[in-house]
Amino acid sequence: MTAGSGAPEIGEPFVVRGKTLDGEPVELWVGSDGMFSSEPIPGAETISVGGWVLPGLVDAHCHVGIRYGGGIEDVAGARAQAVVERDAGVLLLRDAGSPADTRSFDDDPEMPRIVRAGRHIALPKRYIRGLPVELDDETRLPAEVARQARAGDGWVKLVGDWIDRGTGDLAPLWSDAILVDAIAAAHREGARVTAHVFGEDALPGLLAAGIDCIEHGTGLTDDTIATMAAGGIALVPTLVNIENFPEIADSATRFPVYAAHMRDLHARVADTIGAAHEAGVPIYAGTDAGGHVRHGRIADEIVALGRVGLDPTEAFAAASWAARTWLGHPSLEPGTPADFVVYTDDPRRDPAAASPDLVVLRGAVVGRSPALA
Ligand SMILES: [Zn+2]
């Protein structure tokens, strides 16, 4: 998609007429201040009529600055990743841990909004080398959590489990007692906490300590699903990244128990995440882009959420308005920044092929398909 010649000049008011996914007609007046106006604006140019309008899409778990295939991007590389997300309609990213400094993007009107979780927190040799802050001993966890809470944008990311090469299987990193102190420390800073969890054993301790979200969640059981549903604890399964589990298992030839565990979690993922959805656990769309997944794959995650039982409207909600509300961002309300996307055809008919025909960020057209130019 390219910015077409038919786009209004930056700062000129415009109007989009279309419908929401529930079929309600909607008229979006965008003022020269980049905000939605509650009133029609005289002289506003009509730039789109009859399309399906959604609040800006959300990738609720990605990593800006972690290179596909490994390593850390420089600022230009991280910026290129963010642009790929934006062009796919993702205007709000929850960065679930990155050592790259993307703070300068906050002042760049062309960049999507990023909600950061600071850096991953792990123990030595218990996560991907080079990515986390590694603590020599877990008693430092509460202080580090408070530090990352202040460095981020309201989220802290723990590595909840990882292969323990001593036992040769997935195992929790942290004791239940230190998690209680650590999560309380984040909450005192006004931050929410989430954790990378592939297996079963780390979940009870994290949930008992009051964690706010679980990433991946392939090891959820009936009991831990019930706890999450009762507490309204969110789940971001990153299904497009779970597809990498067999490859991870293949590369772990020295750890057959771990490899078998990963294959089993992968084989059951649709049932596991489907059961969480059935039970009422709030689920949001995240691709885990960076590292093992390329950026720009939100449509694939929406399709994958459909395969585990979300209906098409629920799957788009998980990647748009529901996720925005969860992250504290508005959706098409007057007086708020104009971040939205428009599809010419109903994106639920073929989510795999759905790509927005118009992308508006901070009230400026940043992407427009030739069909609308
Ligand atoms: Zn991740």
pLDDT digits (tens, 9 = 90+) for 313-348: 999 999 999 999 999 999 999 999 999 999 999 999
If you measure from the C-alpha of residue 61 to the centroid of ligand 1, how many angstroms do you get, rounded to a whole number?
6
Is CATH 2.30.40.10 what the domain over 14-55+331-372 is classified as, yes or no?
yes
User: Mean pLDDT throughout 15-29?
Assistant: 97
If you measure from the C-alpha of residue 178 to the centroid of ligand 1, how many angstroms do you get, rounded to a whole number?
23
pLDDT in tens, 243-281: 999 999 999 999 999 999 999 999 999 999 999 999 999
Residues with CB under 5 A from ligand 1 (ion): 96, 288
User: Mean pLDDT throughout 47-61?
Assistant: 97
If you measure from the C-alpha of residue 50 to the centroid of ligand 1, how many angstroms do you get, rounded to a whole number?
37
pLDDT in tens, 70-123: 999 999 999 999 999 999 999 999 999 999 999 999 989 999 999 999 999 999
For the chain, residues classed under CATH 2.30.40.10 are: 14-55+331-372
If you measure from the C-alpha of residue 351 to the centroid of ligand 1, how many angstroms do you get, rounded to a whole number?
23
With cut-offs at 50, 70 and 90, classify the pLDDT of residue 370.
confident
If you measure from the C-alpha of residue 140 to the centroid of ligand 1, how many angstroms do you get, rounded to a whole number?
23
Strand 340-343 to 358-361 pairing: antiparallel
Residue 2: count other Cβ atoms within 10 Å of its Cβ.
11
What is the 3 state secondary structure string of the chain?
A: CECCCCCCCCCCCEEEEEECCCCCEEEEEECCCCEEECCCCCCCEEEEEEEEEEECEEEEEECCCECCCCCECCHHHHHHHHHHHHHCCEEEEEECCCCCCCHHHHHCCCCCEEEECCCCEECCCCCCCCCCEECCCHHHHHHHHHHHHHHCCCEEEEECEEEECCCCEEEECCCHHHHHHHHHHHHHCCCEEEEEECCCCCHHHHHHCCCCEEEECCCCCHHHHHHHHHHCCEEECCHHHHCCHHHHHHCCCCCHHHHHHHHHHHHCHHHHHHHHHHHCCCECCCCCECCCCCCCCHHHHHHHHHHCCCCHHHHHHHCCHHHHHHCCCCCCCCCCECCEEEECCCCCCCHHHCCCCEEEECCEEEEECHHHC
Model pLDDT, residue 17: 97
Q: How many CA atoms lie within 13 A of 145 on its CB side?
A: 30
pLDDT in tens, 280-312: 999 999 999 998 999 999 999 999 999 999 999
If you measure from the C-alpha of residue 94 to the centroid of ligand 1, how many angstroms do you get, rounded to a whole number?
10
Strand 36-37 to 25-30 pairing: antiparallel
> Is the pLDDT score of 5 beyond 70?
no
With cut-offs at 50, 70 and 90, classify the pLDDT of residue 373.
low
Model pLDDT, residue 371: 67
If you measure from the C-alpha of residue 343 to the centroid of ligand 1, how many angstroms do you get, rounded to a whole number?
28
Q: Is the distance from CB of 365 to CB of 39 less than 8 angstroms?
A: no
pTM of the model: 0.96
Provide the β-strand partners of residue 94: 115
Positive or negative torsion for Cα 239, 157, 281, 333: negative
If you measure from the C-alpha of residue 44 to the centroid of ligand 1, how many angstroms do you get, rounded to a whole number?
42
If you measure from the C-alpha of residue 79 to the centroid of ligand 1, how many angstroms do you get, rounded to a whole number?
18
Q: Assign domain 60-326 to its CATH superfamily.
A: Metal-dependent hydrolases (3.20.20.140)
For the chain, residues classed under CATH 3.20.20.140 are: 60-326
Model pLDDT, residue 335: 97
- List Cα–Cα distances, 72 to 78, 83, 129, 132, in angstroms: 9, 17, 11, 12
pLDDT in tens, 112-156: 999 999 999 999 999 999 999 999 999 999 999 999 999 999 999
If you measure from the C-alpha of residue 297 to the centroid of ligand 1, how many angstroms do you get, rounded to a whole number?
14
First to last CA, the chain: 10
Mean pLDDT of the chain: 95
If you measure from the C-alpha of residue 241 to the centroid of ligand 1, how many angstroms do you get, rounded to a whole number?
9
pLDDT in tens, 149-208: 999 999 999 999 999 999 999 999 999 999 999 999 999 999 999 999 999 999 999 999
Model pLDDT, residue 2: 41
If you measure from the C-alpha of residue 278 to the centroid of ligand 1, how many angstroms do you get, rounded to a whole number?
24
Between CA 112 and CA 334, with CA 347 as vertex, the angle to 5 degrees is 50
If you measure from the C-alpha of residue 97 to the centroid of ligand 1, how many angstroms do you get, rounded to a whole number?
7
